[in-house]
Amino acid sequence: MSASTPSDEGSDLRPPSWKGDWNPLPERFFARGPLEVAPDLLGLVLARRDGGGVVRAGRIVEVEAYLGRDDPASHAYRGPTPRTAVMFGPPGRLYVYRSYGMHWCANVVCASDGVAGAVLLRALEPCAGIDAMWADRPKAKRPVDLASGPGKLCAALAIVGSDNGSLLTADGAGPRVIRTSLPPFPPASIVVGPRVGITAAADRPWRFRVTTSRHASRGDVRPPV
């Protein structure tokens, strides 16, 4: 009809009905190049159970691929250092670093042992443990503020420096990447663009995000002049 219809995308108004599936992805999922792993992460769930049994979880809606020695924007570009050692280790771990002296950011380590590569987790659509997320994101005003950015995402899931190097493929508590019964995002809803917040190699289109989710971070870069 011609009458204005309210936008009923649905996934923004209510959290997706995650059924509590707990199937951590195996190491072979991560043992590929970051450019292959990054788009495959969209629609999967990042989850963690903390000591109190509270489960926090959210669908991944935005990521960025960071290569190793070939990528001037990567922390691994100039070779391993104490900070970046995890990126050069086996796949399926979490690489956590501190950003601007204040925030934590989390990456999934890819590729093979000895080869650096990672995917930065940039935004989640919260599914579970939302009360706990609000508690750890006191400055958030709207639900889309809870995890729409790499620093916010870590705060929402209580990811901190001591999670650096943790094994994503294990059973049990801790951060995990989980395949769920939620339907995947259709390929047409995934868009590719330049990475956010970098100066080196800023033209490489290695950011992947789900356009139909409003939980992705801002930062679509202006068109080139």
Binding site for DNA (CB under 7 A): 64, 66, 73-76, 78, 81-84, 87, 95, 97-103, 105, 107, 118, 120, 137, 139-140, 145, 149-153, 195-199, 217-218
Query: To the nearest whole angstrom, how small is the minimum distance from the Cβ of residue 32 to DNA?
Result: 17
In the complex with DNA, which residue's Cβ is closer, 22 or 90?
A: 90
Closest CA to 166 of 116, 110, 92: 92
Query: To the nearest whole angstrom, how small is the minimum distance from the Cβ of residue 200 to DNA?
Result: 7
In the complex with DNA, which residue's Cβ is closer, 19 or 83?
A: 83
In the complex with DNA, which residue's Cβ is closer, 55 or 201?
A: 201
Query: To the nearest whole angstrom, how small is the minimum distance from the Cβ of residue 172 to DNA?
Result: 26
d(CA 139, CA 98): 19
Query: To the nearest whole angstrom, how small is the minimum distance from the Cβ of residue 152 to DNA?
Result: 4
d(CA 1, CA 8): 15
In the complex with DNA, which residue's Cβ is closer, 47 or 76?
A: 76
d(CA 159, CA 172): 16
d(CA 110, CA 107): 9
Contact 68, 76 (CB under 8 A): yes
Query: To the nearest whole angstrom, how small is the minimum distance from the Cβ of residue 100 to DNA?
Result: 4
Closest CA to 185 of 164, 162, 208: 208
In the complex with DNA, which residue's Cβ is closer, 45 or 62?
A: 62
In the complex with DNA, which residue's Cβ is closer, 166 or 217?
A: 217
DSSP classification of residue 28: H
Helix ranges restricted to H, the chain: 27-30, 34-41, 130-136, 150-156
User: Please, is 106 exposed, middle or buried when counting C-beta atoms within 10 Å of its C-beta (0-12, 13-18, 19+)?
Assistant: buried
Query: To the nearest whole angstrom, how small is the minimum distance from the Cβ of residue 21 to DNA?
Result: 26
Cβ atoms < 10 Å from Cβ of 123: 27
